[in-house]
A and B are shown apart, each in its own frame.
Chain A
Amino acid sequence: MEFDAIVVGSGITGGYAAKELTEAGLKVLMIERGREIRHQRDYATEMKTPWEMPFRGAGDQERYAREFPVQMLNRHFTEYTQGHFVNDAENPYAKADGTDFNWFRSYQLGGRSLTWGRQSYRWSDYDFEANKRDGHGTDWPIRYADLAPWYDKVEQFIGVSGAREGLKQLPDGQFQPPMALNPVEQHVREVMKANWPERCLTIGRTANLTEAKGERGVCQNRSICARGCSYGAYFSTQSSTLPAAMATGRLTVLTDAVVEKLEYDAATGRVTGVRYLDRTTRTRKTAIARIVFVNAGAFNSVHLLLNSANESMPSGLANSSGVLGTHIMDHASTLSAIALMPGFEAHTTTGNRPTGVVVARYRNMDAIDGEGHMRGYSYQGGALQSTWTAAKRDPGIGTGLKEKLQKPGMWRMVLVAFADCIPRASNRLTLDSNQTDADGIPQLKIAFAFGKEERAALAQAKADAAEMLTKAGGNVIMGFDQPGPGGSAIHEMGGARMGHDPATSVLNKWSQAHDVANLFVTDGAQMSSSACQNPSLTYMALTARACDTAVSMLREGKI
């Protein structure tokens, strides 16, 4: 098989790369390790009620403990969605001593675009300048202005609903109309604004449509997105980029095909294609292309580069710097505060809004006001009412209990902090030569720990959250200041960082490997810092920008 471009992976960035490259006229192979899932036809549980499920939505926990011991810890993993997550027993990974890391994965056509949280935030120059300012990691070779037009393009294509707030630290985008705050959230927003003018609570900016877009319908306010959405109302490969790419007539999709290695020609210094395992026939095959985009998901992209070591690049493909695999990150996150919010009992909501709220970063911007840390944190969460599940925690039985549970329960407000993660060389990915997976490929080994900066940020976030919710009339009942295990934010990134210098980074400012001109890595692996907001929108903007560059280079004969 011979193509202009091969895209490894079909998730959020793989699908986007396939769309951009095919629309630019290239003949593209998108290769996916997992099974095919067809839009509108294979969302098996989308319309199921709890009483149609063998375990009423809770799932067979005994089986999960055997087969999905990591994935079952993901809050999006349920009996309805289990088919959209990997079987951990069949897809093992190794952890260094002392590492506590939950790697949440979705191996299927569409990857994690089917299960993602859809929160879509621009990064700002507070983020792109973070490494340069405090000296951690390496300086980003780009700034916000480089990416702004690509954010515009991506937002207009994927559809992001949100409110314009004019914040420097969380730039506005090309938004569809925002979803609504409920009365408690509106109240907390106003209290924050009155007492801390620099703090802004706004509705989540989410890739759920509030206006129809082409064949995609508006969000139905079900909030069961991870089952798959036949309305196409949230952005996924299936709903958005795959149809666009297929419409060009230039895309070939291969599923159940695990790319083991990138083929490298030392004479030309170029990759020539990929070698992959056809899981259906258990045979190994190759595909050839002029350029390769690696979009396997941050850690799997690094895994592939490490496993593609060759005689001229013995420590991994495109790793002359030696930093491949290092400086991995994930947001440090924790439940900073949950508060009961009396006084709002006269109202409730109907419908299930598929987003919460966000409180934009407000620390360590123009002045350093963090206590023990120099970067940012923000909150996500929202106000919700309790229901019958709260009765599990309280005494009471009988008719009185049943009558009580007929009504919407107490309002409560939740703030979950996401803190910037310092890029550290010691947090790294390697190949475990002693352990292989079911396909005979060395397992990925993760070494990861949060440091004092993240813990300090979460401690301040907890104190701030309690102060704000108390000021808003809330009764804080719980809060934490320690991060969950690495991976908990499902924002793992880094490992093939972008930088100015080929001696200290893997990729240049175009997401192009310093060492291999026709190799691009445009998923989370390219990230040089983490910021404190969700990264997927930035991955897509970087992908669109890299595709444009790659196509230009191809046409100019540079690669």
Chain B
Amino acid sequence: MDGAQAKGWSRRTFLGGAGLLAAAIGLPLAAIKFKLFDADEAPSERQRSLMRTVSQIVIPATDTPGAGDVGAGDFVLLGLAHGLEKSRRPLSADAPQSLASFARKDGSLDQARWLEAELDARAQSDFLKVTADRQAALVAALDADAYAEGVRDHPWRTVKALILTGYYTSEPGGARELQFELVPGTYAPKVPVTPATRAFSSDWTAVDFG
């Protein structure tokens, strides 16, 4: 049994799960197909479940799906494994033990493991088994701590950034929650903002520099 299977994850089950998820919420499978993880870094099913839950708390379902619904949780895990948002940057030499104990072999923080432990600690039990309201309150408190005055670097910021990316670059987030137009054709420099106005996820300047 290899490392991935030991953690309850394999390519087949992963894609199978993705397919079931896609079928359940009517999304194209293409939205959540992605490259394999290294076997020894594959996320566990619990991590996938937790990341999906947390993503849904950050961007809940309204008249459009939430971030968990569209597979942002899996995207976060993929992004963390592949260095998005500088997630494979080595921990600093003076990193606290609370982070250093979750270091990967390359010296970077394993944010998925850290988040599991952090939320379980805050819940004082299994985070996934507390009520939805309690889960939301715990994530809100974590978010507040991560952006508190004087805090410049916090692993939650990395996770949250990837949740946002996973959502707003998905078809439901990018083209239904926001507007998406690959070929605008024209540029209108002064358009009144109305209650119906929605931002364009295809405003690349805003995405890159806003």
Interface residues of B, Cβ cutoff 8 Å to A: 30-31, 33-35, 57-60, 62, 75, 78-79, 81-88, 136, 139-140, 143-144, 146-147, 157, 160-161, 164-166, 168-171, 174-175, 177-178, 180-193, 197-210
Complex: A264 Cα to B97 Cα, angstroms: 65
What are 28 residue pairs bridging A and B, where the CB atoms are less than 8 Å apart in the complex?
A49-B175, A50-B169, A52-B30, A55-B79, A62-B83, A65-B88, A220-B184, A220-B185, A222-B182, A222-B183, A347-B192, A350-B181, A350-B186, A351-B187, A387-B178, A387-B200, A387-B201, A387-B206, A392-B85, A398-B57, A399-B62, A405-B168, A405-B199, A406-B198, A407-B193, A407-B199, A408-B203, A414-B209
- Nearest 4 interchain pairs by C-beta: A386-B210, A61-B83, A351-B187, A395-B147
With contact pairs A51-B169, A223-B205, A349-B187 given, residues A402 and B82 touching in the complex (Cβ less than 8 Å): no
Residue numbers in B under 8 Å from A346 (CB-CB): 192-193
A54 touches B206 (CB 8 A): no
Complex: A397 Cα to B35 Cα, angstroms: 29
Select one of A60, A345, A403, A412 contacting B210, CB under 8 A.
A412
Which of A15-23, A145-153, A175-183, A440-448 is the interface stretch?
A175-183
Closest-CB distance, A551 to chain B (whole angstroms): 41
Complex: A345 Cα to B193 Cα, angstroms: 8
A394 touches B147 (CB 8 A): yes
Select one of B140, B165, B180, B198 contacting A397, CB under 8 A.
B140
Select one of A384, A389, A398 contacting B136, CB under 8 A.
A398
Select one of A51, A181, A350, A402 contacting B59, CB under 8 A.
A402
B187 touches A350 (CB 8 A): yes
Residue numbers in B under 8 Å from A394 (CB-CB): 147
Complex: A57 Cα to B161 Cα, angstroms: 14
Residue numbers in A under 8 Å from B207 (CB-CB): 387-389
Residue numbers in A under 8 Å from B136 (CB-CB): 397-398
Residue numbers in B under 8 Å from A412 (CB-CB): 210
Task: A220-B185, A398-B60, A408-B203 given; name 20 further pairs at CB < 8 Å.
Answer: A50-B170, A51-B170, A51-B171, A51-B174, A58-B79, A58-B165, A61-B82, A61-B86, A62-B82, A220-B183, A221-B186, A348-B193, A349-B190, A350-B181, A351-B184, A351-B185, A384-B209, A388-B168, A399-B60, A409-B206
Residue numbers in B under 8 Å from A352 (CB-CB): 184, 187, 202-205
Tell yes or no: A224 within 8 A of B by CB. Answer: yes
Complex: A389 Cα to B50 Cα, angstroms: 23
With contact pairs A182-B189, A392-B164, A408-B197 given, residues A221 and B205 touching in the complex (Cβ less than 8 Å): no
Interface size in chain A (residues, C-beta < 8 A) = 62
Name which residue of chain B comes closest to A62, CB basis.
B83
With contact pairs A65-B83, A397-B139 given, residues A351 and B188 touching in the complex (Cβ less than 8 Å): yes
Complex: A469 Cα to B143 Cα, angstroms: 33
Residue numbers in B under 8 Å from A397 (CB-CB): 57-59, 136, 139-140, 143, 160
Complex: A399 Cα to B86 Cα, angstroms: 27
Proximity bits, A52-78, B CB within 8 Å = 1, else 0: 101111101111110000000001000
Closest-CB distance, A315 to chain B (whole angstroms): 44
Interface residues of A, Cβ cutoff 8 Å to B: 47, 49-52, 54-58, 60-65, 75, 179-183, 220-224, 345-353, 382, 384-392, 394-399, 401-403, 405-409, 412, 414
Complex: A348 Cα to B193 Cα, angstroms: 6
B204 touches A223 (CB 8 A): yes
Residue numbers in A under 8 Å from B82 (CB-CB): 55, 60-63
Closest-CB distance, B155 to chain A (whole angstroms): 13
Complex: A408 Cα to B87 Cα, angstroms: 28
Complex: A386 Cα to B59 Cα, angstroms: 18
Residue numbers in B under 8 Å from A408 (CB-CB): 193, 197, 199, 203, 206
Closest-CB distance, A57 to chain B (whole angstroms): 6
Closest-CB distance, B202 to chain A (whole angstroms): 7
B84 touches A58 (CB 8 A): yes
Complex: A320 Cα to B161 Cα, angstroms: 57
Residue numbers in A under 8 Å from B62 (CB-CB): 399, 402-403
Closest-CB distance, B63 to chain A (whole angstroms): 10
Residue numbers in A under 8 Å from B202 (CB-CB): 352
Residue numbers in A under 8 Å from B35 (CB-CB): 54, 60
Complex: A387 Cα to B201 Cα, angstroms: 8
Select one of A52, A64, A221, A395 contacting B184, CB under 8 A.
A221
With contact pairs A222-B184, A388-B201 given, residues A49 and B174 touching in the complex (Cβ less than 8 Å): yes
B182 touches A385 (CB 8 A): no
Complex: A347 Cα to B191 Cα, angstroms: 5
B206 touches A386 (CB 8 A): yes
Name which residue of chain A comes closest to B87, CB basis.
A61
Closest-CB distance, B22 to chain A (whole angstroms): 12
A388 touches B188 (CB 8 A): no
Residue numbers in A under 8 Å from B164 (CB-CB): 388-389, 391-392
Closest-CB distance, B165 to chain A (whole angstroms): 6
Residue numbers in A under 8 Å from B190 (CB-CB): 182-183, 347, 349
A348 touches B191 (CB 8 A): yes
Closest-CB distance, B25 to chain A (whole angstroms): 14
Residue numbers in A under 8 Å from B174 (CB-CB): 49-51
Closest-CB distance, B61 to chain A (whole angstroms): 9
Closest-CB distance, A435 to chain B (whole angstroms): 27
Complex: A352 Cα to B188 Cα, angstroms: 9
Name which residue of chain A comes closest to B30, CB basis.
A52
B182 touches A49 (CB 8 A): yes
Complex: A182 Cα to B206 Cα, angstroms: 14
Name which residue of chain A comes closest to B70, CB basis.
A51
Residue numbers in B under 8 Å from A385 (CB-CB): 199, 203, 206, 210
Most buried by B among A61, A183, A224: A61
Select one of A345, A391, A395 contacting B146, CB under 8 A.
A395
Select one of A64, A350, A389 contacting B200, CB under 8 A.
A350
Residue numbers in B under 8 Å from A223 (CB-CB): 204-205
A347 touches B193 (CB 8 A): yes
Closest-CB distance, B152 to chain A (whole angstroms): 11
A384 touches B205 (CB 8 A): yes
Complex: A223 Cα to B182 Cα, angstroms: 9
Name which residue of chain B comes closest to A388, CB basis.
B168
Complex: A62 Cα to B210 Cα, angstroms: 25
Most buried by A among B86, B87, B185: B185
Residue numbers in B under 8 Å from A406 (CB-CB): 177-178, 198-199
Residue numbers in B under 8 Å from A75 (CB-CB): 208
Complex: A399 Cα to B59 Cα, angstroms: 7
Residue numbers in A under 8 Å from B57 (CB-CB): 397-398
A349 touches B191 (CB 8 A): yes
Residue numbers in B under 8 Å from A180 (CB-CB): 187, 189
Closest-CB distance, B52 to chain A (whole angstroms): 15
Residue numbers in B under 8 Å from A386 (CB-CB): 206, 210
Complex: A392 Cα to B87 Cα, angstroms: 14
Name which residue of chain B comes closest to A386, CB basis.
B210
Complex: A141 Cα to B189 Cα, angstroms: 43
Name which residue of chain B comes closest to A48, CB basis.
B182
